[in-house]
Structure formats: C-alpha cells, structure tokens
Amino acid sequence: MHMAPTPGTMAAIEIVAPGGPEVLRPAQRRVPEPGPAEVLIRVSAAGVNRPDVMQRQGKYPPPPGVTDIPGLEVAGEIVALGTDVSELRTGDRVCALVAGGGYAEYCAAPAPQCLRIPDSLTAVEAAAIPETYFTVWTNVFERGRLRNGETLLVHGGSSGIGTTAIQLARAFGARVFATAGTDEKCRACERLGAERGINYKTEDFVTVVKDATGARGVDLVLDMVGGDYVPRDVEALAVEGRLVLIALQHGPKAELNLLPLLQRRLWITGSTLRPRSVEEKGAIARALHENVWPLLETGRCKPVIDSTFPLANAAEAHRRMESGAHVGKIVLTV
C-alpha cells in the first residue's frame, strides 16, 4: 500500500479491531512528541514479540496512557530530545525498550530505556535485543539469581526469549537445558550452547534433567508455559532451586504438592516487564550495559534473527510467529 506522507505524520501499523494478522493495517499517524524525559527515534527496525500477537488478539491491552500502536522495541537514530534529557544526543544510534509504538517510522522512548548500539551490530540485530534481553536479565539473573556453575532449564529454548536465555546463561558459566517442540529446534538450542535440547513432545523434561544431573535437578527453571508444567518444574528443581514464571501459555492454574517447597527450600516467583516503571526499566538497562554490552561488543552473544519483514507487511511477520516455525527473533524493517 502506498502512503503519501504529510508533514508531521508517519507510517505506522494499526490494530483496526481485535483479530487475526489481517487486522494489522498500515496507517498514517502523527509523529509522537517526546516528553521531557524522552527521546524521539527515527526507527530503522522494530522487533516482533509474542505479547504483540496477544495485544492484536485483544488479550493484552497497552497500559494506560500508552499508544495503541503495537511494538515493544526499536532500533534507530535519535532525532529529537526532551527538555530534560542530557545523557543522549541527536544522531546517536540506539535501541530502546518501549511500552508500545514500535511498529512505526518514529517512536518516543524514555531516555533511561535507551542503550547505544554496539558498532558490531546492525539495526535489525539491535532491534531484536531490548524485549528479550531486559526480560532475561531481570528474570534469570536478578529474580532467578543464576550463578556461574549452576544449571538452568529454559522452556521454549528456540523462542526469542529462549535463544537469549541460552546464550546469556552460557556466557555467565551456567549449564543449560532447553525444551522445544521439534528435534530440529532442539539442535538449534544445542548450537547456541544448550547441553541438551529436550523435545517436549517426545521426552519428559523432568526425567532428562534428573538423568543429566545425577538426580540432583536444576538450580533454576525459566518457564513460559505455566499450568501443568508448574508441578513438573518443581519436581525438576534441586535443593534451593528457583522457578521463575514469565508466561502462562498452559493457563494460570496449577495443582501443586507444596511439600517439596519445604523439603528442598524452593522459591517460586514471576514477573512481567511491560508495567514496570521507567526507573525499574532504567535500572535493568544500566545492568545490561555493565554486564551484557561487553558480550555483545565482542560477539560472545548475538541476537538470533529468524526473519525480517517490511513494516507494511507486519501481518506476515505475525503469521510467521504464529506458525511456530521460527527460531529466534522476527524483525520489521522500516
């Protein structure tokens, strides 16, 4: 579709009504005005995430005050600064975590949630970073307290989140097991550093991790499945083990024997990133800059890109994600 630009407007993707990928339509919107503590980014690339699919379906509305344009992460160049922003400059190449508005030519982002793009990365790679790296950092290393020498089990190892969790956990010296729905995806997880990919359709992950750890179990489970996985996660945990829930694809309810929590001194926690404050997201950004940016700069970690689609074809990008055939991240180019 051809969209003739008018001054002060931009191309963006709208969700015309809750529904399938076809409800994502190109539209003209006003270029956002950055607030005092925000920057305006001319977007080169925007990451696609499972929560965008849920938003499109009407199951994950944007928080109050946030644009209805989908998109939780962008990479591009800063073209305007809010009055209170002093740590960034126009012309800086940044990637940013945003609460919405990424599927557009321009996007306003809180300055604390922007990170300069390492020279070694393309805009497409940089756009694939914020949502999964912020999520993995805060859940695996902050809440989950994963340490060098410990063992992680990550469900959905070939997802955007999973590919990031495998690489970061390995880089920080952990052993990693990852579940995925095909043998091919399991091998992809192993190429990224997982000791063993576990096909959850043909194998029992509790048995596999117990066998591989001499019956000890794993120190941390990062779970995006929930529901009936929760009692099995608990079974897979070692003494002092932690279970961190980040999504509930099998539903919010589980029947659980609580005795192992007492006997093995276990923790169960979880979080969602989007509603957290700018201060909290800024703190995660600083921790990433300090601990993870050196790994990206040296190429020790690199976002896994499954495919790219032009912004106007956002519907195709969502079809790709919903096909479940992807390994790693799907990115829109602007």
Ligand X SMILES: NC(=O)c1ccc[n+]([C@@H]2O[C@H](COP(=O)([O-])OP(=O)(O)OC[C@H]3O[C@@H](n4cnc5c(N)ncnc54)[C@H](OP(=O)(O)O)[C@@H]3O)[C@@H](O)[C@H]2O)c1
* CB-nearer residue toward ligand X: 85 or 161: 161
Which residue, 40 or 161, is less far from ligand X as judged by CB?
Answer: 161
Total interface residues for ligand X by CB under 6 A? 27
Q: Which of 179, 242, 304, 309 lies at the binding interface for ligand X (CB under 6 A)?
A: 179
d(C-alpha 53, C-alpha 143), whole Å: 26
CB neighbours of residue 158 within 10 Å: 29
Q: How far is CA 55 from CA 61, 130, 200, 227, 228, in A?
A: 6, 18, 27, 21, 24
Q: What is the 3-state secondary structure (H, E, C) of 1-22?
A: CCCCCCCCEEEEEEECCCCCHH
- Position among 28, 90, 269, 272 found at the interface with ligand X (CB under 6 A): 272
By the rule CB under 6 A, 109 interacts with ligand X: no
Q: In angstroms, what is the minimal distance from the CB of 191 to ligand X? A: 15
Contact mark string toward ligand X, 26..55, x via CB under 6 A: -----------------------xxx----
- Which parts of 191-230 interact with ligand X (CB under 6 A)? 200, 224-225
To ligand X, the closest distance from the beta carbon of 310 in angstroms equals: 20
Contact status: 180 vs ligand X (CB under 6 A): yes
Cβ distance 191 to 217 under 8 Å? no
Beta-carbon neighbour count of residue 232 at 10 Å? 15
167 binds ligand X (CB under 6 A): no
Q: Smaller CB distance to ligand X: residue 40 or 321? A: 321
Residues of this chain, 285-304, that bind ligand X according to CB under 6 A? none
**Should residue 154 be labelled a site residue for ligand X when binding is judged by CB under 6 A?**
no
Is residue 158 at the binding interface for ligand X, with CB under 6 A as the rule?
yes
Report helix, strand or coil for 287. helix
CA atoms lying within 13 Å on the CB side of residue 235: 16
CB of 324: closest distance to ligand X in angstroms? 4
Residue whose CB is less far from ligand X, 82 or 181:
181
185 contacts ligand X (rule: CB under 6 A) = yes
Nearest to 78 by CA among 45, 42, 107, 106: 42
- H or E, element range at 66: none
CA angle, 14 then 16 then 20, to 5°: 100
Which of the stretches 23-31, 144-152, 178-186, 210-218 binds ligand X when contact is defined by CB under 6 A? 178-186
Cβ at position 282, least distance to ligand X in Å: 16
Q: Where are the alpha helices (DSSP H) in 20-95?
A: 50-56
CB of 143 to ligand X, least distance (A): 10
C-alpha torsion sign, points 24, 28, 34, 40: positive
| Interface ranges with ligand X (CB under 6 A) | 49-51, 131, 135, 155-156, 158-162, 179-181, 185, 200, 224-225, 246-247, 249, 271-273, 321, 324
